[in-house]
Amino acid sequence: MSATLSSHSTLPGAIKNLNVAKALGRRRSRASTVVKALCVLATLIGLALLASILLTLIVRGFGGIGLGVFTEVTKPPGSNGGLLNAIVGSLIQTVIGVAIGTPVGLLVGTYLAEYARGSTLGNAVRFVSDVLLSAPSILIGLFIYQLVVAPFGGFSGIAGCIALAVIVIPIVVRTTEDMLSLIPVAMREAAMALGAPKWKMIVQVCYRAAKDGIVTGVLLAVARVAGETAPLLFTSLGNLNWSLSLTKPMASLPVTIYQYAGSAFDDWVQLAWVGALLITFGVLAINILARVVLRGGK
């Protein structure tokens, strides 16, 4: 009899707890639905803005693409000039800048992830790298101007390459450190238990496991420096003539776009749109190619 009374007395409490649980479940479901709807809305807004930018570039720039854009150098207004020197100059400075900055960033990121965890020096290097990552590019241009351009008495392509390399370094450092930090410790211990020295474990195990992330960081760096204008204005300056010398001012697409977009001449404005289109789709093509190569290598 007492057991029956006890069960009857606890029944209302159990029902109440069940109702509370159901209410909490409905509240969480509604909150989840709202958050999911906001995420979808934000994604659609981002895609719409990206599509708008690409569509504008295609509409404004595609009509100006012709053989002369790739075979003629920049010329005075009305002379049917092209962008050959600017395209080649951008390729040279971007490739050299990435080639200088990527190994430095890779080694620094490896040091922070594998050798300097929790150390004072590692924290100081990480802090400086983060500050450099968020620094305005125009400040980097001014820094290289004082370090390279002013002492050597003139603007030059190599100064532009160094400025772009300084921008590349912190991006590669951050992505390399993050990707290496995600690798399980068990993988490192297994490699070292087989007798592999630490440097070989990093190269043969860690780099292979983090390959996709590191390449993504390099691609982000390429996308960043390919469209930089401010640091090149203080370093390589630009050149309306054909020049491949790294010791002289060198043309580049971002600087040419900056100069042409604000001009009063329709043909220069058209070339500015063409240059913007070429940079955008060039970076897009590099990203797609890298993804295909990485996927094919698996």
Query: Mean pLDDT across the chain, nearest whole number?
Result: 90
List pLDDT tens digits, range 200-222. 999 999 999 999 899 989 998 99
pLDDT for 214: 93
Question: Top-level CATH class of 67-296?
Answer: mainly alpha
Residue 246: name the closest of 233, 255, 237, 258 by CA.
Answer: 237
Q: What percent of the chain has pLDDT over 90?
A: 72
- Does 23 score more than 60 pLDDT? yes
> What angle separates helix 157-181 from helix 84-110, to the nearest 10 degrees?
40
- Neighbouring C-beta atoms of residue 188, cutoff 10 Å: 19
- Does 170 score more than 70 pLDDT? yes
- Does 194 score more than 70 pLDDT? yes
- Does 2 score more than 50 pLDDT? no
pLDDT for 9: 53
Contacts of 122 (CB under 8 A, 6+ apart): 111, 112, 115, 116
Q: What distance in Å separates the CA atoms of residue 186 and residue 192, rounded to the nearest whole number?
A: 10
pLDDT band, residue 26 (cuts 50/70/90):
confident
Query: 3-state DSSP call for residue 297?
Result: coil
pLDDT for 22: 80
List pLDDT tens digits, range 71-89. 999 998 888 899 999 999 9
- Neighbouring C-beta atoms of residue 54, cutoff 10 Å: 14
Using H for helix, E for strand and C for coil, what is the string for 161-177? HHHHHHHHHHHHHHHHH
The domain spans of the chain are: 2-64, 67-296
Arithmetic mean of pLDDT, 266-292? 90
List pLDDT tens digits, range 103-153. 999 999 999 999 998 899 999 999 999 999 999 999 999 999 999 999 998
